[in-house]
Amino acid sequence: MQQATFRYDINGLRAYALLLVVFYHFNLPLFHAGFIGVDIFFVISGYFMTKIIFNNSRNHKFNIKVFFSAIFIRIVPPLLFVTLIFYCVSFFILNPGDFQYYCKYIIKSLTFTSNISLLKEADDYFAANSARNLLLHTWSLSVEWQFYLLYPFLFILLNKAIKRPKGLIITLSLLLLSSLLFSVYQSTLNRAYDFYMLTTRAWEMLAGGLVYLFECSRTTQQNRPAVLCKLVGIGLLVVSLIIINEKDPWPGYLASLVVIGSSLIIFSRNNRLRFFNNRLIYTLGLASYSIYLWHWPIHFFANYYLPHPSTLTNILFVGLSILIGYGSYRFIESKSIAWAKRKGQLFSFSFFLCIALIFIGLADQTRKHSGFPWRGGESYLSVINKIKMPSPENGWCFYSIATDHQLSVGLPGVQCKIGDTTHPQVKALLFGDSYAGQYIPFWHKVGEKNAIQIQAVTTNWCNPSTGNDFLGPRTSPAYQQCLFNRHYVLDHISDYNVIILAGSWTKAFANPHAVEGLHELISRIQQKNIPLIIMDEPYQFAENIGDRYKQQLWRHHYFDIRPYTSVKMDNRIKATSQQLDQLSANTVQTLHLRRSDLFSPTHYAVDDIPYSLDGGHISVLGSLAAERYFIAQGGNEKLRHFLKQ
């Protein structure tokens, strides 16, 4: 098959890592921890990068331009091919919103910044809504590429500064330990950051690099218990598959089991074990990159047409992913590398770079034109324009500074006034995060009918509180806006006749600091003798309902919401509502608006269109429908009676 120096064991490990990831994404039984395959990939990458850099540096043959162009030619053509194919497919299949979102991630994937963009969106890799991203899996390529950009310079610098190999090993070990400790720290602070960022992933690749440096040591060459290392390594990976699940902070300290296990397998240099050296595993290992690129888009479209597939169906899609991925390896990945060798590295690099830049330009134009909504016609546009958050772009004023980069931190974020703004008899404050912002259309209509002017002070992840607690990434400008909002509210609290609090209570109640800040806020309100209204969260779904509805509308299919209801999530929201009941009962002059006051139990707003925007929030249309339902349930009389007390 290959020359004697070929590492069948590493190639086999790569094949099994691939299978773990693919089986996990297709929800095959027993592979609930299959995501550890990516961590194995990282260890392997660190090993080979160190081998290339160390050997060429030692022989004075390392050329940084050759290094980067070789990696570019290895990685970009297959990625470019996959993204281009699915651009064409998406043009005919995806609705404008999904197509626009896909084009955004074409740009992010080809510039190797997917992980950063996902962090800014605070997108949990394990959350149901992550399935919306056709290029979600490219986050790992971005992390690897960022490592490739930095590691050669760091390694060469250390290699020159530290002449002794042991000193280099010690220094890299300290860097590994620093990255690992930072990962453990971030796992309790910001799960999305811990998962997606290079600083919390670098230790996994550095572990692979240290394995190679240890291999070069004469001592370890002479005293390597190969079979024992390999068996212990396999054992650690099996244990990881059994004990790890999606709820665990990741990577964190638990990932050390996977990293140590992978490192031991590589360190053993045992090519004879048939488990790692047979024709099937050999082929899967060679084609692993292309199969990895193809499997997630295939999963995406499988989920698009079959939201609840059987295990057998998923197995068939696994086979399809492997088959198409292998074809891509044979005819795209291998051919592009061979073509580059014939044409020369510089020419090939320039050629593929030009193609990538042209395609990025096309994707950017598609993104700027909102995914070409003209493809759906006027009837489609009239509906989807209402299935949005109430932001300035559609005439409302939720201050979504995390997603609208034209907004700035400060006073503009607290200037939203709705309801009766001409001759109000009551001045109210709506304060909270996006789960408060979603109610802006609701309170606008209620305010108009009851002579209430409502000032909405809302931004992303800013739960009602007086403290510094925050439900999103503190790197987002929303954090600074949130602190501004809280100071503003405390400074102007006496200006209002009634205060309305709404938020992502389920997340807030899981955070002790958020609970403490909420109680302090309520105490301040009570001291001023101001009536308080607390609003429930809407019904929560296991999937992005708005996207599911748009997909069915785009395909002219009836949308049945029932398969997406979740008893588990509903019970969690009910438990949160009971906590709000207790909070309201212990607080004077407090009205608790429950889900039953606001939302039809059918979950439909009007004309079979759901309330839900994304499985959590409600849309503009849902918010307006909630107002109509509230009025029909006698909500106006209930509100007026409360305000007269």
* Three-class secondary structure of residue 428 per DSSP: strand
Of the residues 305, 335, 368, which one is the last residue of a structural domain? Answer: 368
Q: In the prediction, which pLDDT does 230 show?
A: 87
pLDDT for 47 beyond 90: yes
Instruction: State the helix-helix crossing angle for 255-268 and 226-243, rounded to 10 degrees.
Output: 160
In the chain, the amino acid numbered 543 is: E
Please say whether the beta carbons of 142 and 109 come within 8 A.
yes
> What is the pLDDT confidence band of residue 4, given thresholds at 50, 70 and 90?
very low
Token code pair at residue 165: 């190999």
Q: How many helices (H) and strands (E) does the chain have?
A: 28, 8
Tell me the CATH number at 487: 3.40.50
Check pLDDT > 90 for residue 618. Answer: yes
| Distances from the Cα of 229 to the Cα of 268, 271, 387, angstroms | 6, 13, 56
The mean pLDDT value of the chain amounts to 91
Q: CB within 8 A of 51, min separation 6: which ones?
A: 212
Q: Are residues 258 and 402 in the same domain?
A: no
Shared domain check, 342 and 270: yes
Determine, yes or no, domain membership for 451: yes
pLDDT band at 222 (very low <50, low <70, confident <90, very high): low
Are 351 and 398 in a shared domain? no
* Residue 385 counted as domain residue: no
CA dist 224 and 219 (Å) reads 8
Q: Work out the average pLDDT over 212-227.
A: 71
Cα separation, 541 vs 557, in Å, equals: 20
400 in the same domain as 314: no
**Segment 356-372, tens digit of pLDDT:** 999 999 999 999 998 99
Do 279 and 11 touch, CB atoms closer than 8 A?
no
Assess whether 359 and 398 both reside in one domain: no
- Tens digit of pLDDT for each residue in 311-330? 999 999 999 999 999 999 99
Q: Are 263 and 207 in contact (CB under 8 A)?
A: yes
Residues 334 and 416 occupy one common structural domain: no
pLDDT, tens only, 552-569? 889 888 888 888 887 788
Q: What percent of the chain has pLDDT over 90?
A: 69
Please report whether residue 544 resides in a domain. no
What tens digit of pLDDT does each residue of 413-429 get? 999 999 999 999 999 99
* 41 assigned to some structural domain: yes
Confidence at 130, pLDDT banded by 50, 70, 90: low
Q: Are 463 and 512 in contact (CB under 8 A)?
A: no
- 82, with CB counted inside 10 A (0-12, 13-18, 19+), is buried
Q: Is 303 domain-assigned?
A: yes
Say if residue 521 is in the same domain as residue 480: yes
Question: Domain limits at 408?
Answer: 392-538+567-603
- pLDDT tens string 254-295: 999 999 999 999 998 877 778 888 999 999 999 999 999 999
Say how far apart CA 538 and CA 190 lie, in whole Å: 25
Distance CA 94, CA 105 (A): 14
Q: What is the DSSP string of 8-77?
A: HHHHHHHHHHHHHHHHHHTT-TT-TTTTHHHHHHHHHHHHHHHHHHHHHHHTT---HHHHHHHHHHHHHH
pTM of the model: 0.79
Residues 310 and 433 in one domain: no
581 φψ region: left (φ > 0), alpha (ψ -120 to 50), beta (else): alpha
Q: Are residues 193 and 102 in the same domain?
A: yes
Supply the DSSP symbol for 262: H
- Report CA Rg, the chain: 28
| Mean pLDDT, range 225-245, rounded to an integer | 91
Residue in the structure block whose two tokens are 């590429």: 145
Rounded Cα distance, 487 and 233, in Å:
54
For residue 590, report the phi and psi dihedrals to the nearest 5 degrees: -125, 130
Average pLDDT over residues 158-167: 80
How many C-beta atoms surround the C-beta of residue 150 within 10 A?
Answer: 12
d(C-alpha 79, C-alpha 98), whole Å: 20
**pLDDT tens digits, 69-86:** 999 999 999 999 999 999
Residue 193 lies inside a defined structural domain of this protein: yes
User: In whole angstroms, what is the distance from residue 599 CA to residue 535 CA?
Assistant: 12
333 and 410 assigned to the same domain: no
Number of domains into which the chain is organized: 2
Q: Which residue from 43, 112, 127 is spatially nearest to 79, judged by alpha carbons?
A: 112
Residue 605 backbone dihedrals phi, psi, to 5 degrees:
-85, -55
Does residue 406 contact residue 628 with C-beta atoms inside 8 Å?
Answer: no
Contact 532, 590 (CB under 8 A): yes
**Above 80 in pLDDT, residue 220?**
no
- Binning pLDDT at 50, 70 and 90, where does residue 126 land? low
Q: Are residues 428 and 498 in the same domain?
A: yes
pLDDT score of 2? 42
* Inside any domain, residue 517: yes
- Which of 101-110, 116-125, 245-254, 310-319 has the lowest average pLDDT? 116-125
Determine if the peptide bond prior to 297 is cis (ω within 30°). Answer: no
Predicted local confidence at residue 219, as pLDDT:
54
> In terms of domains, do 235 and 326 share one?
yes
Mean pLDDT of the 203-232 span = 82
Residue 139 belongs to a domain: yes
Residues 460-508: tens digit of each pLDDT: 999 999 999 999 988 899 999 999 999 999 999 999 999 999 999 999 9
